[in-house]
Amino acid sequence: MNEFALIERFFADPAAHEPPPSWLRLGIGDDAALLAEENGWETAITCDTLVEGRHFLAGTDPEALGWKALAVNLSDLAAMGAVPTGFLLALTLPEADEPWLTAFACGLFACARRHGARLVGGDTTRGPRALTITALGRVPAGEAILRSGARAGDDLWVSGQPGRAALGLAVRLGALPSTLPGAREWIAALDRPEPRLALGCRLRGLAHAMLDVSDGLLGDLRHLLERSAPPFLTAEIEVARLPLDPLVAGGAPPERARAALLSGGDDYELLFTAAPESRDQTLLLGRELGLPLSRIGRLVPATAHPMVLIEPDGRRTLPEVLGYDHFCACKEYP
């Protein structure tokens, strides 16, 4: 049973067949749930855990961890087009290590200040190190960008430089030399991801569907495709349009750069779809925000395969590895 089958089997709301309560705008299945407020806004709420040995290595710089624990949650708010408000911190620690806590809090509040989020509560327990944050945000009612809004004919876009975090991890694990020109930047992307909050907000009314890339571009793209309404969609990804050159220029072997970009986790870039008519406006927005936006393909009515790669020579291939799944080490495709 994979992670998503597990959620579906045991935690899909048993009351889902009943009409939802009026306060519930969106439940399980997107980057955040949406709760109705009375003043023309909706609350977006999301929760993510970082576990030692799974999401970060023992001995990771606690300041970076503090930043990242919050940043990955704010990224889910960004993926809805929401603006952060408060957050709750549930901390499980093996011991009360003062230098560790000082550095962790420093990173945490640096991220909180930068993005205007307030710590409003939490829980503190002893046990194997795990960091859970529940983040709250707000978005004008009806304007959140859902995973489910994609349409046939949409362009597929991704922000920034996906693939850096996976290469950073490879450097950290000694699988790539730390002397490569891109190594510092990749490790920074792994340790201090920047939630794309400004972009998320500005894409309201422009993007049809969106999610953040936490588990790998293709794996997360598949989640977006799965949420689209019947008769369903296939994504055609144009390999020549992927932002591979900067990774290769940083010293990543081309095959490794491609795998990191398509399947590496932990990037927290935004993946979104938009009408071809919005191309100029989208490019302009990227320039205004100083964040490159790459148009990497398009969505077509469903064919035999949910995702197809169009190689630079025109050949159509199927992706090998998708994304990360906590309960499934196997290749997921097809």
Candidates 6-14, 147-155, 186-194, 209-217 — which segment interacts with Mg ion by CB under 5 A?
209-217
| Contact set for Mg ion, span 114-173 (CB under 5 A) | none
Q: How far is the CB of 293 from ligand ADP (least distance, A)?
A: 20
- Which listed option, Mg ion, ligand ADP, none, makes contact with residue 191 (CB within 5 to 8 Å by class)? none
Q: What whole-number distance in Å separates Cα of residue 74 and Cα of residue 197? A: 7
The amino acid at 205: G
- Which listed option, Mg ion, ligand ADP, none, makes contact with residue 48 (CB within 5 to 8 Å by class)? ligand ADP
| Residues near ligand ADP (CB under 6 A) | 7, 11, 28-31, 48, 76, 214
Which whole-number Å values give the CA distances from 293 to 58, 147, 190, 285, 286, in the listed order?
Answer: 34, 19, 20, 9, 6
132 three-class SS? strand
Structure tokens at 179: 């002397």
Residue 267 touches Mg ion, criterion: CB under 5 A: no
- Which listed option, Mg ion, ligand ADP, none, makes contact with residue 318 (CB within 5 to 8 Å by class)? none
Q: Which is nearer to ligand ADP, 7 or 106 (CB)?
A: 7
Greatest alpha-carbon span in the chain: 58
Q: How far is the CB of 189 from Mg ion (least distance, A)?
A: 17
Q: Which is nearer to ligand ADP, 79 or 112 (CB)?
A: 79
Q: How far is the CB of 267 from ligand ADP (least distance, A)?
A: 12
Residue nearest to ligand ADP (CB): 11
Q: Which is nearer to ligand ADP, 31 or 52 (CB)?
A: 31
| CA atoms within a 13 Å half-sphere pointing along the CA-CB vector of 82 | 34
Candidates 90-98, 208-216, 222-230, 307-315 — which segment interacts with Mg ion by CB under 5 A?
208-216
* Residues paired with residue 118 on neighbouring β-strands, in sequence order: 86
SS3 readout for 155-203? EEEEECCCCHHHHHHHHHCCCCCCCCCCHHHHHHHHHCCCCCHHHHHHC
Q: Which is nearer to ligand ADP, 30 or 52 (CB)?
A: 30
Q: What whole-number distance in Å separates Cα of residue 244 and Cα of residue 191? A: 21
Sign of the dihedral through C-alpha 101, 106, 109, 111: negative
215 three-class SS? coil
Q: How far is the CB of 4 from Mg ion (least distance, A)?
A: 13
- Which listed option, Mg ion, ligand ADP, none, makes contact with residue 7 (CB within 5 to 8 Å by class)? ligand ADP
Q: Which is nearer to ligand ADP, 183 or 221 (CB)?
A: 221
In the chain, alpha helices (H): 3-6, 62-78, 98-115, 164-172, 183-191, 197-202, 217-227, 245-249, 254-263, 279-289
Residue 212 touches Mg ion, criterion: CB under 5 A: yes
Q: How far is the CB of 220 from Mg ion (least distance, A)?
A: 7
Q: How far is the CB of 38 from ligand ADP (least distance, A)?
A: 24
| Contact set for Mg ion, span 311-330 (CB under 5 A) | none
Candidates 36-44, 123-131, 148-156, 207-215 — which segment interacts with Mg ion by CB under 5 A?
207-215
Residue position matching structure tokens 């809805």: 80
Q: How far is the CB of 31 from ligand ADP (least distance, A)?
A: 4
Query: Which of 222, 193, 196 is closest to 299 using CA atoms?
Result: 222
Of these, 31, 63, 155, 191, which contacts Mg ion (CB under 5 A)?
A: 31
CB 225 within 8 A of CB 235: yes
Q: How far is the CB of 27 from Mg ion (least distance, A)?
A: 15
Residue 76 touches Mg ion, criterion: CB under 5 A: yes
